[in-house]
Amino acid sequence: MASSPLSHAPLLEVLDGRPPLRRPVWMMRQAGRYLPEYREARARAGSFLSLCYNPALAAEVTLQPLKRFDLDAAILFADILLIPQALGADLTFSEGEGPVLSTVANDKQVAALKLEGAADRLAPIYETVARVAAAKPVNVTLIGFCGAPWTVASYMIEGRGSTRERARLAALAAPSWFAALLEVITQASIDYLVAQLRAGAEAVQIFDSWAGDLPARAFSRWCIEPVRQLVAGVRAQVPDARIIGFPRAAGTNIIDFAQQAGVNAVAVDAGVSVKVMRDQLSPICAVQGNIDPLLLLAGGPALDAAVDELVQGLPRRRHVVNLGHGILPSTPIEHVSQFVARVRLRDSETRNEESGG
């Protein structure tokens, strides 16, 4: 493993509110198509979903980035749409098209979703978590995850990513079936995250990829409140659970999310400035982000400058270096190496300055 032989886990220290010995760094979608070893593993699996449900291969893929880069976390290889599939939705992934789901649009279709048996259908995911937990370095944090109720509901209503117009109309009109759908997803997600934590995950992240679709009033009702319930439900069973929330493209709503959702850290996209991260978010909770994935694709001086601004502008004890979204498949591996090395260099310099060295 490329990770340095530290006995501490920097990411856990930040999530627990303690000063880490070094600033933690990891990347969303760090196990993915930009790595040739991932592409080879996916070819062996035969399909994306087969890879997700194959614990040996999924664990291998989860650990792959640690062999190349000095990272502080491994994130479980899975997909946010495994929850609706476990509830009984039909799910396929088409090359070049993305996920396609059977849709939900009324009370009868919501009632047909099956919480019972979902744990058994997701058992391979928990085995993957256990395999990674047993194999990873002690200083590397294993992160589990799920999709936020609003984002998962959006896919279930639309049947795919698309423009999400039907989902947004449902959020604004709020028919009874829409609230019931979010309740089912929330409970399934509580069970899913608790099982991941009990299998060996040390932190979890909640991805609300379509949070930016919601205007302020709807954001509070359908983004913040379901995530708050999800966080509370997880902590009712795992009281010390460390949880990161990522309401992507939330804009100014990100402040309310950080204050009300109950998370240990809020992840932010590239649209949130370092000043807002430092002055408005870090006093509330730890903050994660926010390098633009396109900067990682570009590499060179622009990437270095963005890393410098983050590391020099945010307190180590409240910051996790990450991207503002997932790594793009065409990202050169050498740019990822540049990114991680630059974080280590600048963080080392700031530590020396703080200690008077």
Angle at 217 between CA 212 and CA 221, to 5 degrees: 85
34 as an active site residue: the answer is no
Please pick, among 38, 53, 126, 155, the residue that the annotation labels catalytic.
155
Please pick, among 16, 79, 107, 308, the residue that the annotation labels catalytic.
79
Angle at 158 between CA 154 and CA 162, to 5 degrees: 90
Angle at 49 between CA 194 and CA 294, to 5 degrees: 85
Cα dihedral sign, 257-261-263-267: negative
Angle at 241 between CA 244 and CA 186, to 5 degrees: 70
Cβ neighbors of 119 (< 8 A, separation 6 or more) are 191, 195
279 as an active site residue: the answer is no
CB–CB of 152/185 below 8 Å?
A: yes
For the record, the structure tokens of 53 come out as 């449900």
29 as an active site residue: the answer is yes
- C-alpha neighbours within 13 Å on the C-beta side of residue 220: 7
Q: Which of 243, 203, 193, 247 is nearest to 225 (CA)?
A: 247
Please pick, among 42, 68, 221, 235, the residue that the annotation labels catalytic.
42
Strand ranges inside the chain, DSSP E: 73-75, 91-94, 98-101, 141-147, 203-208, 243-247, 265-267, 286-288, 319-320
Task: Please name the amino acid found at residue 64.
Answer: Q
68 as an active site residue: the answer is no
Kindly write down the DSSP assignment for every residue of 30-64, as one continuous string. Answer: -SSTTSHHHHHHHHHHSSHHHHHT-HHHHHHHHHH
79 as an active site residue: the answer is yes
Please pick, among 23, 29, 228, 242, the residue that the annotation labels catalytic.
29
Angle at 330 between CA 31 and CA 307, to 5 degrees: 75
Q: How many helices (H) and strands (E) does the chain have?
A: 18, 9
Active site residue ranges: 29, 33, 42, 79, 155
